Amino acid sequence: MGFDRKAVIAGVYEHPTRWAPDKTMFQIHAESARGTLVDAGLTIKDVDAYFTSGVGPIGVLSMAEHLNLQPRYLDSTSIGGSSFVAHVTHAAAAIAAGLCEVALITYGSTASSERFAVGTGGGFAGDPPDHFEGPFGPTVLGSYALVAQRHMHEFGTTSEQLAEIAVTIRRHASLNPVAKFRDPITVEDVLASRIVSSPLHLLDCCIITDGGGAVVVTSAERARDLQKRPVYVLGGSEACCHTSMGKRDLTDMAAQQSGPRAMAMAGMTHKDIHMCMIYDSFTITVLETLENLGFCKKGEGGAFVQNGRIGLGGELPVNTDGGGLSSNHPGMRGIFLVIEATKQLRGECGARQVKDCEIALCHGTGGMLGLRHSGATLVLGRG
Query: What residues numbered 147-166 form the site for other proteins, per CB under 8 A?
Result: 147-150, 153
Select 47 or 241, whichever has its Cβ closest to other proteins.
241
Rule CB under 8 A: say whether 287 interacts with other proteins.
Answer: no
Rule CB under 8 A: say whether 334 interacts with other proteins.
Answer: no
If one counts every other C-beta atom within 10 angstroms of the C-beta of residue 12, the result is 27
Q: How far is the CB of 314 from other proteins (least distance, A)?
A: 31
What is the distance between the alpha carbons of residues 104 and 121, in angstroms, rounded to a whole number? 31
Rule CB under 8 A: say whether 117 interacts with other proteins.
Answer: yes
Contact, 111 vs 210, CB < 8 A? Answer: yes
Select 163 or 200, whichever has its Cβ closest to other proteins.
200
SS3 of 270-304: HHHCCEEEECCCEHHHHHHHHHHHCCCCCCCHHHH
- Among 68, 246, 271, 355, which residue sits at the site for other proteins (rule: CB under 8 A)? 246
Select 139 or 168, whichever has its Cβ closest to other proteins.
139
- Among 38, 58, 195, 351, which residue sits at the site for other proteins (rule: CB under 8 A)? 195
The three-class DSSP label of residue 337 is helix
Select 128 or 313, whichever has its Cβ closest to other proteins.
128
Q: How far is the CB of 108 from other proteins (least distance, A)?
A: 23
Query: What residues numbered 8-67 form the site for other proteins, per CB under 8 A?
Result: none
Contact, 180 vs 327, CB < 8 A? Answer: yes
Contact, 312 vs 172, CB < 8 A? Answer: yes
Rule CB under 8 A: say whether 198 interacts with other proteins.
Answer: yes
- Among 158, 193, 243, 306, which residue sits at the site for other proteins (rule: CB under 8 A)? 243
What is the distance between the alpha carbons of residues 242 and 244, in angstroms, rounded to a whole number? 5
**What torsion do the CA atoms of 111, 113, 114, 117 make, to the nearest 10 degrees?**
50
Whether the link from the prior residue into 199 is cis, omega within 30° of 0, is yes
Q: How far is the CB of 193 from other proteins (least distance, A)?
A: 12
Instruction: Report how many helices (DSSP H) and strands (DSSP E) the chain contains, helices first.
Output: 11, 11
Candidates 5-13, 144-152, 162-170, 295-303: pick the segment binding other proteins (CB under 8 A). 144-152
Query: What residues numbered 120-139 form the site for other proteins, per CB under 8 A?
Result: 120-124, 126, 128-129, 131-139
Rule CB under 8 A: say whether 142 interacts with other proteins.
Answer: yes
Start-end of H helices in the chain: 25-40, 59-66, 83-96, 140-155, 159-173, 187-192, 220-223, 255-266, 283-293, 301-304, 334-346
Q: How far is the CB of 134 from other proteins (least distance, A)?
A: 4
Site string for other proteins, 164-193 (x = CB under 8 A): ------------------------------
Rule CB under 8 A: say whether 281 interacts with other proteins.
Answer: no
What is the distance between the alpha carbons of residues 128 and 276, in angstroms, rounded to a whole number? 35
Select 132 or 227, whichever has its Cβ closest to other proteins.
132
Q: How far is the CB of 246 from other proteins (least distance, A)?
A: 3
What is the distance between the alpha carbons of residues 320 and 322, in angstroms, rounded to a whole number? 6
The three-class DSSP label of residue 213 is strand
Write out the E strands in 326-371: 359-367
What is the distance between the alpha carbons of residues 294 and 162, in angstroms, rounded to a whole number? 18
Select 364 or 367, whichever has its Cβ closest to other proteins.
367
The secondary structure of residue 251, as a DSSP letter, is: T
Q: How far is the CB of 124 from other proteins (least distance, A)?
A: 4
Select 56 or 129, whichever has its Cβ closest to other proteins.
129
Query: What residues numbered 342-381 form the site for other proteins, per CB under 8 A?
Result: 370-371
Select 247 or 355, whichever has its Cβ closest to other proteins.
247
354: phi then psi, degrees, rounded to nearest 5? -80, 125
- Among 69, 95, 100, 250, which residue sits at the site for other proteins (rule: CB under 8 A)? 250
Counting residues that bind other proteins (by CB under 8 A) gives 42
Q: Which residues are near other proteins by CB under 8 A?
A: 117, 120-124, 126, 128-129, 131-139, 141-142, 145-150, 153, 194-200, 243, 245-248, 250, 370-371
